[in-house]
Every structure is written in C-alpha cells, then in structure tokens.
C-alpha cells in the first residue's frame, strides 16, 4: 500500500507542474505611445477610426469625444451642455460600430440611435430596437453589442420582466431566470430572432409576506458571480465562454456550434476562511465604490429596473412593463410605503409597483439601499476563471478574457485565438482597464486618476 500512497500524494503535484508548463508566461503590455490630457469621468468604450482617430464614450461624464491620432486634439461630438446641438441624454449611452467607419450612439432616454460619420458628425437619428431592450445595448456587464455581416444587431436580451411582474401580482415568489438570450435584430425589417442562450449568474432572492397581503422581495449580492460570457467576432461568429470548465463554444452564422478544448488555468481553491475574507473585502470595496458614485443602483452595480403601472404592469392589464420602464441607471427609487430600502414591495390590488434590484444608491447624496452579501458558504469552492462581461475581441478576432487571477493586485488577460487556444497572457499597467483596440496592434486604455480618468494608446507588444 505504501507505494500507492506515494503515487496518489504525488499526483496533484505532477498535475500542477504540468498545468504550469502549459500556461504561457505572463508578460506586460507593450509601450504607451500616446497620452490624452483631456480629463474624463469614466471610459466605457472606444471606436478606432481611419487615420488613428478615436471616438470615446465618457459614460459618467455623458459625453462622446473625438480624439486625433496623437490624443492631443479633441472635439466634442455630443454632451449635455449647450456647447453642441446634440445632447448626450440624461442616461448613460453606448457606442456600437456600424457600417464602414460609421458608429451608432445609443441614447436609452430617447429610445434612439444617433449615426456618427467618420468625421464625428451626427448625420441621422434612427429608432432603437424594442424599448425594453435599449438598456442592454449600452454594453458593460451585458456584453458588447455589434453587427454581423448580414447587418443584424447582435445583443443580449433582457429577462422577461413581464413574467416577474405577473408572478408578483399573483402573490407568487419571483423566479429570476438563470439564462439569457442572445438575439439578432434586423434594422430594415424590424424582425428579431434568437441566436442562442447562455448561463447567467444566479440571483439570490428572499421573499417575505407583509401584513397587508403583499410581499417583500430582497436580493443579495454574490461577489463571485458564475455566468457565461459572450462576444461577437468580426466574421459574425458568436463566442460563448463557458464558466463551468472554461472553454469556448463557437456559434457560426449558419447555426453550427463547435467546441474548443478546456483553456488551461490555475484554479484557486477557496477555503472556509478564505470565503469569509473574500466576502469582507468585497463588501468594503463595494461600499467605497458606492460612496464615490462609481457603483450604480442595480444588480452588481448595473442598471436597475423601475416598473410602473396598474396590476398588469403596463397599465393595460397585460403584465408587461410599460414602454417607458426599460432598464435604467441612476438613483434608486424610494421604497413604497411600508417597504424597506433594497426591497421590492408589492401591494395586492395596488396601482404602483416599485422595484429596486440589488445594492445601490445613486452615489453621494442619493438614496442608499442596504448592501446585502451572500453568506460565505454560498461562494464556490473554486474562484471562477472570469466574471461576466470580461471578454473583449481585438481586430484579429482574438478573445481577451480578463481573468480572476491577479498578480501584484493587477488582473491578467488570457488571449485566446479562433481555435480556442491560449496563445498569450498579458497584464496591464496599474490603474488601467482595457477600453478597446485599433488596427496594427493598437490597444486603448482607460486610466483612473483619483476621481477622474484619461485615455492612453499603447502597443500590444
């Protein structure tokens, strides 16, 4: 028996050594070639244009700016002041690459899409897809929408909030979905079809009855959400990055799905003590972000839902949200009478439903909802390899996946090619996040400078 015991004890070590040998070494990003001096609030996305110019979405400052190739010259394309005739809107918007070198700016407040030409001029205004979907076109944790070669807009659709509203009105506990649909919308025919579904993080819900026959629904935050991620490649292929075993499924434009082998990764085990420490540190970080106004009012800091209307939700008894009740960000609403902060209160027969999903507060001076965290025992035994919304695609069709692995408090990006192979591992300089890519190995970085930010251009190698 002794030789067997020795072999079993040595097996994990051999496996670890083999995995370490199969992982490319972590390298630093290439040199910075240009630095912008224009102060920004937060850079959510960029759009690389001809001659090195770049459109930047300052999502917290509510501005769209056009920088020249040196990042020294800047022109305001849209903002919220009288400086331009093109208002950004009262809600955060998004940029989506359109035909050729044109770009669409999504304005959720007006349910419209502004067409920006390569010179940074707004030339046309179009209606957005379905009103309930417009908040999911902004990007961020919901993935980056884009157009496939057939001209269809590919994006993640929102959950069926109408079904949640109908369940609430019927006095049934809500059953938040654990999957989401990726859909394709044809701007010409206004037709929508579902491309596929993918796993989304579980929403923890606590339901309690009230003395007046209603119910309170309170959500809690899991700082280690486990959900798949997705990205649209230049050729129209949809990459589905799976959280369970960290591999990629590829959905081609003809509907064929192929799977790549598992991506090698140094999985980090969480002990019971480690789970407690992780919950404590995550709560402190979220509280600091919320106090500084960087954390929004919704689930995981994302958009929140406000539904208004009668028993049907839309004022017509259909149970569907009204057209003006798409996901929206900003200060959380005050709870209904008798409700606690951070809860959804439903009164039987009432004519108003107010929902505040997840932690929140609108930043300094806004209503502050209670930040509730899951118990440490609900965290996974191993850290997920990535968090939802962590995947970007470069101009060559490679996936840049921001992993949960940190070295010197800086995340590591796994670069995966079209075959699903891990070809590189890159670490950004401190206080930087990936904002986008350009032709010829160009990468754009958003740099946090205390309460402001600025843009940098660097080389991949």
Residue 421 has pLDDT above 70, yes or no: yes
pLDDT of 319 reads 33
pLDDT of 214 reads 65
Q: What is the mean pLDDT of residues 341-354?
A: 29
For the chain, give every domain's residue range. Answer: 2-30+129-427
pLDDT of 20 reads 46
CA distance 159 to 167: 14
Residue 69 has pLDDT above 70, yes or no: yes
- 160-216 pLDDT, tens digit per residue, is 766 666 666 666 666 667 889 999 999 999 999 999 999 998 776 666 667 776 656
Residue 299 has pLDDT above 90, yes or no: no
- 7-45 pLDDT, tens digit per residue, is 434 434 444 434 544 799 999 999 999 999 999 998 989
| Percent over 90 (pLDDT), the chain | 51
Q: Of the ranges 45-59, 60-74, 152-166, which one carries the lowest mean pLDDT score?
A: 152-166
Residue 401 has pLDDT above 60, yes or no: yes
Residue 461 has pLDDT above 90, yes or no: yes
Q: What is the mean pLDDT of residues 385-392?
A: 94
CA distance 195 to 426: 31
């Amino acid at each position: 028996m002794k030789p067997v015991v020795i072999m079993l004890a040595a097996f994990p070590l051999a496996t670890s050594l083999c995995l370490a040998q199969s992982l490319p070494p972590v390298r630093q990003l290439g040199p910075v070639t240009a630095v912008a001096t224009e102060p920004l609030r937060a850079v959510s996305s960029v759009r690389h244009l001809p001659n090195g110019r770049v459109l930047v979405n300052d999502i917290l400052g509510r501005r769209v700016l056009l920088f020249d190739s040196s990042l020294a010259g800047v022109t305001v394309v849209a903002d919220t002041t009288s400086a331009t005739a093109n208002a950004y809107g009262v809600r955060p918007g998004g940029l989506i690459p359109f035909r050729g070198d044109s770009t669409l700016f999504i304005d959720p407040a007006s349910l419209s899409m502004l067409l920006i030409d390569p010179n940074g001029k707004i030339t046309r205004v179009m209606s957005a897809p379905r009103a309930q979907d417009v908040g999911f076109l902004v990007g961020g944790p919901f993935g980056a929408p884009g157009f496939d070669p057939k001209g269809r807009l590919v994006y993640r659709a929102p959950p069926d909030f109408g079904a949640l509203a109908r369940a609430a009105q019927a006095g049934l506990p809500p059953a938040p979905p654990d999957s989401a649909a990726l859909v394709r919308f044809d701007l010409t025919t206004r037709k929508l079809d579902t491309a596929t579904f993918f796993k989304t993080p579980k929403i923890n819900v606590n339901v309690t009855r009230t003395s007046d026959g209603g119910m309170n629904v309170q959500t809690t935050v899991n700082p280690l959400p486990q959900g798949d991620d997705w990205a649209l490649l230049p050729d129209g292929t949809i990459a589905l990055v799976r959280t369970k075993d960290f591999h990629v499924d590829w959905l081609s434009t003809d509907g064929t799905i192929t799977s790549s082998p598992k991506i090698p990764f140094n999985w980090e085990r969480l002990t019971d003590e480690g789970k407690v420490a992780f919950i404590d540190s995550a709560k402190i970080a979220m509280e600091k972000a919320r106090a500084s106004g960087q954390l929004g009012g919704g689930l995981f800091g994302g958009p929140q839902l406000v539904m208004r209307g009668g028993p049907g939700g839309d004022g017509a008894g259909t149970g569907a949200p009204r057209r003006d009740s798409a996901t929206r960000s900003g200060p959380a609403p005050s709870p209904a009478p008798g409700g606690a902060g951070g809860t959804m209160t439903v009164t039987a027969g009432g004519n108003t439903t107010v929902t505040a999903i997840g932690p929140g507060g609108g930043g300094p001076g806004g209503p502050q909802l209670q930040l509730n965290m899951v118990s440490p025992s609900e965290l996974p035994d191993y850290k997920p390899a990535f968090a939802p919304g962590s995947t970007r695609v470069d101009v060559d069709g490679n996936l840049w996946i921001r992993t949960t692995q940190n070295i010197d408090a800086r995340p590591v990006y796994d670069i995966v090619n079209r075959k699903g192979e891990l070809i590189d591992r890159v670490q950004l300089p401190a206080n930087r996040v990936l904002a986008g890519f350009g032709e010829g190995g160009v990468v754009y970085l958003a740099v946090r400078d205390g309460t402001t930010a600025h843009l940098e251009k660097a080389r991949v190698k």
